Every structure is written in C-alpha cells, then in structure tokens.
Amino acid sequence: MAELLRVEGVSAGYGEAVVLSNISLALEEGQTLALLGRNGTGKTTLINTLAGATRQHAGSITLGGVALHKLPAHERAAAGIGWVPQERNIFKSLTVDENLTAVARPGAWTPERVYGMFPRLAERKSNLGTQLSGGEQQMLAVGRALVLNPKLLLLDEPLEGLAPIIVEELLKAIRRITREEGLAAIIVEQHPQAILKISDSAVVLDRGTVVHAGSALDLLQRPALLDRLLGVAC
Ligand SMILES: Nc1ncnc2c1ncn2[C@@H]1O[C@H](COP(=O)(O)OP(=O)(O)O)[C@@H](O)[C@H]1O
Ligand SMILES: [Mg+2]
C-alpha cells in the first residue's frame, strides 16, 4: 500500500515553548493509527501540528507527497486534512445542515451520506448547534470533517465525555469510516482498548516524544506493556 503521511523529526509547540521534540511516524493509505499517551504528553499538540495550528520549529510533514508543513492551516483542508479538534469546532449559531453544507467540498462524502452514517443528525437537521447534546455535537464535528473529503481524518478524543450508548454509536461509525470506507485516520484516545481494536498501528507519546511505535494488535496483546506505557489499568 502507498504511503500517505510521513512525519520526520518534527519539533513543535506554542510560541517559544517546545512541546514536541523529534517526532517521526508514517501512515499508509487507508490505515488507522491510534495515538496514545497519558494526559499532557503532547497528543493534541501533535494533531494540532498536523493541522497547522501550532508553531513548528523543525522537521517535515508530507501528505501524499505534498509538503504540508509549508502550508498555512487554512490550506491544509484542501491538501487532505480533515480535523476534528478536541474542542468540537462546530458553528453553534448555524443549523446542523448549514454546518455541513458550509464546509462541504466535492467528493464521495456529502451531507446526505453523513446523515446516513448518523441518523441522529438527520433528525436534527434544522436544529442549531446550541441545541445539540454533546454526542450530537461530536457526530456533527466528525460529519464536518468527512464532507471536506479528506485523505486523512484527525480525531482528537472523539469519545471524551460521552454517554456509553453514544460512545458505542460513534465507535461503530468510526469503525465503518476507517475499516469499510478505507479512510486513513489518526485517533487520539486516553482509553486505548476500543481504539486499538479498530487501528492498524499505534504510537505512544511521553513528554513530547515517541516512546513506542508498532502494530495495534501487538499492543492489545501485551497488556503489561500497555500498562507500563500508559500507566493505567486497562
Ligand atoms: N496553547 C498552549 N500553550 C502553551 N502550552 C500548551 C498549550 N496547549 C498545551 N500546552 C502544553 O503542551 C503540553 C502537551 O499538551 P497536550 O498536547 O494538550 O497533551 P495531551 O493532548 O496529550 O493531553 C502540556 O504540557 C500543555 O501544558
Ligand atoms: Mg489532548
């Protein structure tokens, strides 16, 4: 399979503060990478760096052969990045439908297809962003990234703070998007079990550096290693 993303020697942070140092990783087309690590280890900063929302000090990021690190944030969606930030970035004063149509770009993912994936959103088409539950906002944030028709979907803690039944629903949709539709994705999660099951590879960060990289299945089958890397009982 062809390589989609290559991150090489990336250091990045906010202002003068360097949070990430010397990060390297690669991802093939259609593959899912679980990005794991304790709280404050730099997962969001890495996602934000791919999206162009941090200050990059060193290294290169290429997506489908395009030098992403040279592009400003607002040009990265056109280059193939579909970003779902940790703080769901929906337009609260627009309806669900307006949120989707406002950003849609031509391609396989249309607002109608998003409604097929999330029937809950279809029922709330005319509701404003302010009238949605946390789970519905998250589904809308994922839908907004999908209608950009990205090459790479970046999901930063998509399951955080959601009721168990919604977590199930969203996980099922994410599994369909990645496994069945073959969209490449990087998924950040604090609770790794569910995400490792639908991922191909896994990268673990600690203090802004990569401390483990390998297959997701391997990590899933080595609970002691996972426990040591994440310091949580899984
Ligand atoms: N906007 C910011 N300005 C300065 N430092 C930040 C900012 N956001 C995060 N940090 C710092 O970067 C480090 C990594 O944070 P983050 O990437 O959010 O971790 P994670 O997503 O793994 O919990 C933390 O030490 C945090 O305090
Ligand atoms: Mg985070």
DSSP sequence for 41-60:
SSHHHHHHHHHT-SEEEEEE
Instruction: State whether the beta carbon of 45 lies less than 6 angstroms from ligand 1.
Output: yes
Q: Which listed ligand is nearest to 38 at the C-alpha?
A: 1
Instruction: State whether the beta carbon of 99 lies less than 6 angstroms from ligand 1.
Output: no
What is the pLDDT, as a whole number, of residue 116?
95
Is 168 within the bounds of a domain? yes
Is 144 within the bounds of a domain? no
Q: How far is the CA of 97 from the centre of ligand 1 (A)?
A: 33
Amino acid in position 223: P
Q: Measuring from atom 27 of ligand 1, which residue has the nearest CA?
A: 40
Enter the tokens of residue 198: 């639908």
What is the pLDDT, as a whole number, of residue 85?
92
Q: How many C-beta atoms surround the C-beta of residue 105 within 10 A? A: 12
Q: How many C-beta atoms surround the C-beta of residue 199 within 10 A? A: 27
Q: Measuring from atom 26 of ligand 1, which residue has the nearest CA?
A: 40
Q: Which residues pair with 204 in a beta bridge?
A: 36, 212
- Cα(65)–Cα(153) distance, integer angstroms: 17
Q: Which residues of the chain have pLDDT under 70?
A: 232-234
- Distances in Å between the alpha carbon of 53 and those of 25, 66, 173, 216? 19, 18, 27, 27
How many alpha carbons lie under 13 Å from residue 104 in its C-beta half-sphere?
18
Is 104 within the bounds of a domain? no
Is 143 within the bounds of a domain? no
What is the pLDDT, as a whole number, of residue 232?
56
The domain spanning residue 38 has which CATH number? 3.40.50.300
What is the pLDDT, as a whole number, of residue 1?
76
Residues 60-114: tens digit of each pLDDT: 999 999 999 999 999 999 999 999 999 888 999 999 999 999 999 999 999 999 9
Expressed as residue numbers, the domain containing 12 is: 3-85+150-230
Asked whether the beta carbons of 136 and 162 are under 8 A apart, the reply is no
Is 63 within the bounds of a domain? yes
Number of domains making up the chain: 1
Is 115 within the bounds of a domain? no
Q: Measuring from atom 9 of ligand 1, which residue has the nearest CA?
A: 45
Is 196 within the bounds of a domain? yes
Enter the tokens of residue 60: 């290169």
Instruction: State whether the beta carbon of 119 lies less than 6 angstroms from ligand 1.
Output: no
pTM for this prediction: 0.95
Asked whether the beta carbons of 153 and 177 are under 8 A apart, the reply is yes
Instruction: State whether the beta carbon of 44 lies less than 6 angstroms from ligand 1.
Output: yes
What is the pLDDT, as a whole number, of residue 234?
45
Is 120 within the bounds of a domain? no
Place of tokens 């959601």: 162
- Cα(234)–Cα(220) distance, integer angstroms: 10
Can you say whether the dihedral through the CA atoms of 125, 117, 192, 86 is positive or negative?
Answer: negative
